[in-house]
Amino acid sequence: MIRQIVREDFPECVEVIRKSFMTVAEQFDLTPENTPAFTAFATDEEKLRYWMDEQHRPMYGCFLDGRLVGYYNLYFPEDGECELGSLCVLPHFRHMKIGEELLFDSMKKARALGCSKMLLSIVEENTVLRKWYEQHGFIHTGTRKYDFFKFTCGYMEKEL
């Protein structure tokens, strides 16, 4: 079941986000020392409060038997555009179509909120994830290398 996240869910959200993104960190040798701003290391309850209160990001989670197993948020940088943020699924619940359910739910909610285009960013070197998004209609639009990330950021978008 996918439902909107409330403040009481924040501790569980932080745990799910960090554990989910930690597999990417391990795969690409990202550490708090070489990439402190990476999601696995930089997400905490304060960040979620900022996203909710200051950026007005709606957040959603997939719950199985009352346990949060997947998460995403939506950010609205410009009219008609939304950014999919922190889509993740706990490692033990992957390959069960939960990520796909969350992705489809995010697109449905974004359209309902007036978005015509969805943007997202990935670790560019994660070719498996890039291919997964491409299989769901996203187009790769470019890359950018930041000093504070050990990896290259890849950008993708999809018309909704």
The domain tally of the chain equals 1
pTM over 0.85, yes/no: yes
- Kindly give the confidence (pLDDT) of every residue in the chain, 160 residues in length, as a single tens digit, with 9 standing for 90 and above: 999 999 999 999 999 999 999 999 999 999 999 999 999 999 999 999 999 999 999 999 999 999 999 999 999 987 899 999 999 999 999 999 999 999 999 999 999 999 999 999 999 999 999 999 999 999 999 999 988 888 999 999 999 9
151 lies in which domain range?
2-159
Query: What CATH number is associated with residue 55?
Result: 3.40.630.30
Other beta carbons less than 10 A from residue 4's beta carbon: 10
Q: Whole-angstrom Cα distance, residue 115 to residue 53?
A: 20
Is the alpha carbon torsion for 82, 109, 158, 124 positive or negative? Answer: positive
